[in-house]
A and B are shown apart, each in its own frame.
Chain A
């Protein structure tokens, strides 16, 4: 046996040994710790404005039971902030400086370096080359599925913190008097806390009663952003609005799998 084949055999033996050790008891821990999380969370649906529990409603873990993914939330927040930029900044170009547009020197014969006009970007007090005009679009792109997951992750986070209060019916007061809003905040210990309502439809009394509440926001279900969900200390959402979000930002169906599996039909 040459030295080389001996070395190769030794290498083989070592790798075989490594693989067999993998298949022995080392991975047993991994199999033993395998578990699947609950498919549903038991959400409490509440009355309004008492916020007393009325009933339990199982809600899919894809909506309220997702683990926190800070990377996805961050991407969504950046995406929203980019899209919200107006882009109104005006930058002066070479023609906007108020200088003469005339060439400063003749091209040849002066004995000096070549010069263009007074506003040329090459001059220290010249205009900006390729300056952005107002109306510049700073928006960036994000895959729909990532944004949808961000919405669901944000809802899950607030739910897991105990800050998501789901109202079974309509989140509206019987009166639009400002005392209704004040009383609601003080009764539930929300004074000084930021509270956001996500409503299914316009709630006149809720709006009127909370106009003077500095830290109360009312958001319609269509306009909900990830930041709206993440920012408030208490998020009060109507059950219909929650269903709307679940539908609008639903997880990708298994039917859209990359390599489709045959669908079992009850033939």
Chain B
């Protein structure tokens, strides 16, 4: 595979130059994985109405409240977070059983201030700060020990 610079220097056909990075890379990608649909470059496409309306609505169809963060209480603090439910409507709190038999509690799907939520859960459970931590790459909270039902209870009380 050539870099786009090399392709240009080689004076490849116009089509090749155009899709210098994209298509060549995509082709290997598609051929090998066969996961992504094969699409002819530059082929006209129609945006489905559902996607057009839901992801790119016109300005007059969007209310001002859609564009700002919605606080659900009168709390004046700046920190906020939310935990979205899974597609099956459950709270994303799981137990992770390790090979040595120890159990960790994992909280997923957190948006907003993760460290604030960690602090609040730490207070609510009354556990040490060494037993609760954030996985920074995935924004998950992990608690050492099985606190699944406790955490779910806390989150249900807070109406997540």
Which positions in A face B, CB cutoff 8 Å? 18-19, 21-23, 26-27, 29-42, 55-60, 62-63, 67, 69-72, 74, 79-80, 83-84, 86, 137, 139, 141-142, 144, 147, 196, 200-202, 204, 207, 211, 214, 217-225, 228, 243-244, 246-248, 250, 252, 254, 256-259, 261
Residue from the list A31, A139, A142, A254 in contact with B157, Cβ < 8 A: A31
User: Secondary structure at chain A's binding surface: helix, strand, loop or mixed?
Assistant: mixed
CB distance A83 to B32 under 8 Å? yes
Q: Are A34 and B33 in contact (CB under 8 A)?
A: no
Q: CB-nearest residue of chain A relative to B17?
A: A207
Chain A residues lying within 8 Å of B154, measured Cβ to Cβ, are 22, 27, 30
Are A58 and B57 neighbours in the complex by a CB distance under 8 Å? yes
A218 adjacent to B20 (CB under 8 Å): yes
The listed residue (A21, A60, A207, A261) touching B89 by CB distance below 8 A is A261
Interface residues of B in 21-76 (CB under 8 A from A): 21-29, 32-33, 35-37, 39-43, 45, 47-48, 51-52, 54-59, 62, 66-73, 75
Contact B72 A141 (CB under 8 A): no
Query: Given A22-B154, A30-B121, A144-B35, do A219 and B22 touch, yes or no (CB 8 Å)?
Result: yes
A257/B69 contact (C-beta < 8 A), A34-B159, A243-B47 known: no
B111 in contact (CB, < 8 A): yes
> How far does the Cβ of B66 sit from chain A's closest Cβ, in whole Å?
4
- In angstroms, Cα B21 to Cα A84, docked, is 12
Give the CA-CA distance A224 to B70 in the complex, in Å. Answer: 34
Would you list 22 pairs from A and B whose C-beta atoms are within 8 A, ordered by A residue? A27-B154, A32-B73, A32-B77, A37-B82, A37-B111, A39-B66, A56-B59, A58-B56, A71-B137, A83-B33, A84-B1, A200-B42, A202-B42, A207-B18, A218-B20, A218-B21, A218-B22, A222-B43, A224-B22, A224-B26, A246-B55, A259-B88
Answer whether residue B98 sits at the interface, using C-beta atoms and an 8 A cutoff.
no
- A228 and B117 within 8 A (CB): no
Say whether A38 contacts B87, CB under 8 Å.
Answer: no
Given contact pairs A30-B155, A220-B42, A258-B87, A141 touches B4 in the complex (Cβ within 8 A):
no
Q: Output the nearest chain B residue to A62 by Cβ-Cβ distance.
A: B55
Within 8 Å of chain A (Cβ to Cβ): is B80? yes
Additional A-B contacts beyond A22-B154, A222-B43 (8; CB < 8 A): A22-B150, A35-B69, A35-B70, A35-B82, A211-B17, A214-B5, A246-B56, A257-B88
A86–B1 Cα distance when bound, in Å, is 8
B79-123 vs A, Cβ < 8 Å mask (1 yes, 0 no): 111100011110000000000000000000001110011001101
Q: Please, which residue of chain B has its CB at the minimum distance from the CB of A26?
A: B124
B22 lies within 8 A of A40 (CB): no
- Cβ 8 A contact of A37, one of B28, B112, B159: B112
* Pair A250/B55 contact, Cβ less than 8 Å: yes
Can you name the residue of chain A whose Cβ is closest to the Cβ of B55?
A60
Whether A247 lies near B42 (C-beta < 8 A) is no
Is residue B19 contacting chain A, with contact meaning CB distance below 8 A? Answer: yes
Q: Are B69 and A67 in contact (CB under 8 A)?
A: no
Q: Does B10 contact A (CB under 8 A)?
A: no
CB pair A217 B150 closer than 8 Å = no
Chain A residues positioned under 8 Å from B86 (CB to CB) = 258
Q: Is the CB of B4 within 8 A of A60?
A: no
Residue B144 at the chain A interface, CB threshold 8 Å: no
**Contact of A27 with B19 in the complex, beta carbons under 8 Å:** no
A220 in contact with B111 given A34-B81, A252-B87 (CB within 8 Å):
no
Question: In whole angstroms, how far apart are the Cα atoms of A84 and B41 in the complex?
Answer: 19
